[in-house]
Copies of this chain bind each other. A is one copy, B any other.
């Protein structure tokens, strides 16, 4: 059985699949890409599938074959197949499926790739319907503005994911590790109502796969399923109760600073060079007489810098300490001025972009003595 394909879409599909397939794995079957021919529709399709147990991926390419053609249970080593197709010299690829091998030829290049014997294929099921839709940029914004605040440690369970909250009237993402929180809100109605917690690790993999195409999705059976561009994805969701984040976000405002973000970032980076990275990257902020003093100290010595800031609120003198990494993370998506709103010396501070009221970062100050 022969199929001729244009090289580029096949290379793209295999590149996407290659981003999912683990390079080192104890389970060799997870390194495979599976292929079958779907001749059920008007246009026959070559379907490629793979899974790493966290994410299932499927790409389908339209092909011209006689309708009585059948092809199933083909398994090839995913990375090798992807590397070969990527390197092919010609514009087209011919795949010849034989009993024990697949011959791949293009231009003057010919390869025989041995078919893997797989008794049990993973049963990948992709939903037929994807009732929700969001533009690619909005979908990506929801994830990139929040993912950084996820917890990293295994024992932190549900804190290791981003909560997606989809309602009639808004789509929202939230992440927190207990020390800081990130929140992104859009007024977009996606068409799906529900919520789910997506593992941070799967978000990292997903971000490498999202392109410019709208993202259609559904939530069901403990999975977030996506259809975008030429491929479909299933992401296994986290189980557990996400904390009531709205209760944590403070309403009290005792003082709000407005600071040029780039300047603040540069100062925080150089002052915190002296902070003790092995402890908590402590950097102290002290406002007095319209001047913000920033201070760090550690094993190598200490650093100080002062900048003038505009401030408003009941207090005009204020001292607070942060893990500077969390404050820098909170500032990363802000252009122009940033607003830092203090609710108290030990209660959470808010970091916001006046031009993006729907995006919010919260940082809990360090509890320090002296």
Query: What residues of chain A have their CB less than 8 Å away from a CB belonging to chain B?
Result: 77, 80, 83-84, 87-89, 101, 108-114, 266-267, 269-271, 273-274, 299-307
Contact = CB atoms under 8 A, between A and B. Distances in A.
A169 to B, nearest CB: 45
A300 B113 CA distance: 6
Contact of A111 (B89, B303, B306, B307): B303
A114 B300 contact: yes
6 contacts: A84-B270, A84-B274, A89-B267, A110-B303, A111-B274, A112-B302
A102 to B, nearest CB: 8
A89 B260 CA distance: 15
A14 B302 CA distance: 20
- Identify which of A80, A108, A301 gathers the most chain B CB atoms within 10 Å of its CB: A301
Contacts of A109: 267, 270-271, 303-305
A87 B269 contact: yes
Nearest to A110: B304
Nearest to A291: B108
A301 B111 contact: yes
A53 to B, nearest CB: 23
Given A77-B300, A80-B273, A273-B84, A266 B89 contact: yes
Contact of A273 (B83, B101, B273, B301): B83
Contacts of A301: 101, 111-114
Nearest to A102: B301
A77 B110 CA distance: 57
Nearest to A307: B108
Contacts of A101: 301
A268 to B, nearest CB: 10
B266 A300 contact: no
A306 to B, nearest CB: 5
A114 to B, nearest CB: 5
Given A101-B301, A271-B109, A266 B114 contact: no
Nearest to A296: B111
A104 B320 CA distance: 25
